[in-house]
Amino acid sequence: MNTRDTSLQILQQVFGYSSYRQPQQQIIDTLVRGEDALVLMPTGGGKSLCYQIPALLRSGVGIVISPLIALMQDQVAALRQAGVAAGALNSALSAEEDARMRTLLRNGELQLLYVAPERLMTSGFQSLLQQIDIALFAIDEAHCVSQWGHDFRPEYIQLSALHENFPGVPRVALTATADELTRREIIQRLKLERARHFISGFDRPNIRYRVSDDSSNARQQLLRFIQLNYAQQAGIVYCLSRRKVEDTAIWLQKQGIQALPYHAGMSQQDRANHQDRFLREDGVVMVATIAFGMGIDKPDVRFVVHMNLPKSLEAYYQETGRAGRDGEPAEALLFYNLQDVITLRQFVEQSDADELHKRIETQKLERMLGYCELTSCRRQALLAYFGDVQKEACGNCDTCLNPPETWDGTVAAQKALSCVHHTGQRFGVNYLIDVLLGKNNERIQRFGHDRVSTFGIGTELDQKQWRSLFRQLIAQGYLAVDQEGHGGLRLSESCRPLLRGEVRLQLRRLQKEKSGKLRKQRT
């Protein structure tokens, strides 16, 4: 019998499943052949089998490195139930249990061993491993090696030594959260240059992605969105600040929506209570900061709304992924505006992270903005960010359903940039727009800006359109926001070719009037 048949037999007889999901079989083949693999699959995608089955197929014990003791225990219990000789080594063990586990390991009596990274890398354990037969190393939650990620664990850095200490043993790194940057870091730090990549399962076809670039009356839009499409249905509304969470929840309640607030500033008891009601009752709308959602598994969340811009596409993907777990149609709606861009940039600038870290955070934010301002399929862009390339546009996002109009904003952009220049590169958007529109207010007169050449040259656009244009100039890096927190804008080096007309700026037309947009779109 060839290994494929044997592997299928194990899948059916040990794990009780009839067939593999894509691309479990190929991953297993790769490891059985002794090659390395990098596996990106969302949570619930079925990563565990990808190393459990090859560990059973190869001789020796499969070593699984996992940072989460609770998950480790669950997996070991499930494997033992299925008749697999599995064990775990972590700080939860007593000295006797620890010694017993090591004896089993030395005697070759284990098929799978789960180890916390700090245990694995002790010299005692490394030399024990040198004496036994090892089937493979599986590095779970591999994004923990990324210094830029929020789950960074210094112990993971040392795992690069596995490659030197055990050159002949195949290694597989697995994670659910990996943008291109993190992926590159995993490969580099874990020495996985030769690993085959398997990226799959990130698409959530039942979620319709929508972005509204008009947040001037976002609350009203939110209310209409819920009333028209999702009355009495469960949803999550994310806000950036605790204050906005409170305000929005109270306001929705007054409008007759069953809304509850959730943020880290509330008492433990209130939070638990609201979470419980969200899970148990029908049609609760949770208005929350990003503190809410981790580990929440409610299948029938029909919508996730972001009242503010998330700080990265990973965050956005993770948060919107809480909608429609049951596979039924669900919707992700995002409102974004210039103020959020400025606020988030300032968060980054004012954090005490080092320069490189700040640059990376800024890049992530740029990608998020780029996503908002897309004129092509949102799902394609979102999946491409995770390395999952889709050939076809999805047909289930706002840009697919209502292709946006674009316009050549080059001349307007030149006027805006020139206005920034002539007013001394220190004023914020609202002021600059007043100058462009020729508003003769006291402040403008005081600074003498009613006499600059750009005063009143921008009447072809209205205030809203100018705001959108400035937003895109910032998003594309032509304008930089000052770091003192006043929102003052200055020209970046990169705006020269645009000023000279060597590059053109294609812009998304502002959604005309939103009334038509948020009408029920389902048929």
Q: Report the residue number, 6 or 339, with the smaller CB distance to ligand ADP.
A: 6
Residue 271 found at the interface with Zn ion (CB under 5 A): no
Binding site for ligand ADP (CB under 6 A): 17, 20-21, 24, 41, 43-49
Cβ at position 19, least distance to ligand ADP in Å? 6
Count of H-run helices and E-run strands, the chain:
23, 17
Residue 53 contacts which entry, Zn ion, ligand ADP, none (Cβ below 5-8 A, type-dependent): none
Which of the stretches 155-163, 224-232, 389-397, 467-475 binds Zn ion when contact is defined by CB under 5 A?
Answer: 389-397
Contact 263, 288 (CB under 8 A): yes
Q: Report the residue number, 379 or 471, with the smaller CB distance to Zn ion.
A: 379
Residue 397 contacts which entry, ligand ADP, Zn ion, none (Cβ below 5-8 A, type-dependent): Zn ion
Residue 350 contacts which entry, Zn ion, ligand ADP, none (Cβ below 5-8 A, type-dependent): none
Residue of 38, 105, 252, 397 interacting with Zn ion (CB under 5 A)? 397
Contact 141, 151 (CB under 8 A): yes
Cβ at position 52, least distance to ligand ADP in Å? 8
Cβ at position 397, least distance to Zn ion in Å? 3
Which of the stretches 26-34, 59-67, 399-407, 481-489 binds Zn ion when contact is defined by CB under 5 A?
Answer: 399-407
Neighbouring residues of 39: CB distance < 8 A, sequence distance ≥ 6: 27, 47, 50, 172, 173, 174, 175, 198
> How many CA atoms within 13 Å lie on the side-chain side of 307?
28
Residue 379 contacts which entry, Zn ion, ligand ADP, none (Cβ below 5-8 A, type-dependent): Zn ion
Residue 377 contacts which entry, ligand ADP, Zn ion, none (Cβ below 5-8 A, type-dependent): Zn ion
Residue ranges of alpha helices (H) inside 373-475 are 378-385, 398-401, 410-422, 429-437, 442-446, 463-475
| Other beta carbons within 10 Å of 34 | 13
Q: Report the residue number, 344 or 397, with the smaller CB distance to Zn ion.
A: 397
Neighbouring residues of 516: CB distance < 8 A, sequence distance ≥ 6: none
Residue ranges of alpha helices (H) inside 146-261 are 154-157, 161-165, 180-189, 218-229, 242-254
- Report the C-alpha gap between 60 and 136 in whole angstroms: 8
Rounded to 5 degrees, φ, ψ at 399 are -70, -30
Q: Between residue 319 and residue 378, which ones bind Zn ion under the rule CB under 5 A?
A: 377
Q: Which two tokens stand for residue 415?
A: 């006027």
Residue of 186, 400, 420, 475 interacting with Zn ion (CB under 5 A)? 400
Tokens 């499409």 belong to residue = 229
Q: Please, is 346 exposed, middle or buried when counting C-beta atoms within 10 Å of its C-beta (0-12, 13-18, 19+)?
A: middle
Q: Report the residue number, 68 or 503, with the smaller CB distance to ligand ADP.
A: 68
| Other beta carbons within 10 Å of 384 | 14
> Under rule CB under 5 A, how many of the chain's residues touch Zn ion?
6
Residue 400 contacts which entry, ligand ADP, Zn ion, none (Cβ below 5-8 A, type-dependent): Zn ion
Tokens 């003769």 belong to residue = 440
Q: Which two tokens stand for residue 241?
A: 């600040």
Q: Between residue 367 and residue 386, which ones bind Zn ion under the rule CB under 5 A?
A: 377, 379
Cβ at position 137, least distance to ligand ADP in Å? 16
Residue 44 contacts which entry, ligand ADP, Zn ion, none (Cβ below 5-8 A, type-dependent): ligand ADP
Q: Report the residue number, 278 or 385, with the smaller CB distance to Zn ion.
A: 385
Cβ at position 278, least distance to ligand ADP in Å? 23
- Report the C-alpha gap between 79 and 15 in whole angstroms: 9
Cβ at position 368, least distance to ligand ADP in Å? 25
Cβ at position 367, least distance to Zn ion in Å? 17
Residue 508 contacts which entry, Zn ion, ligand ADP, none (Cβ below 5-8 A, type-dependent): none
- Report the C-alpha gap between 159 and 150 in whole angstroms: 18
Contacting positions for Zn ion (CB under 5 A): 377, 379, 393-394, 397, 400
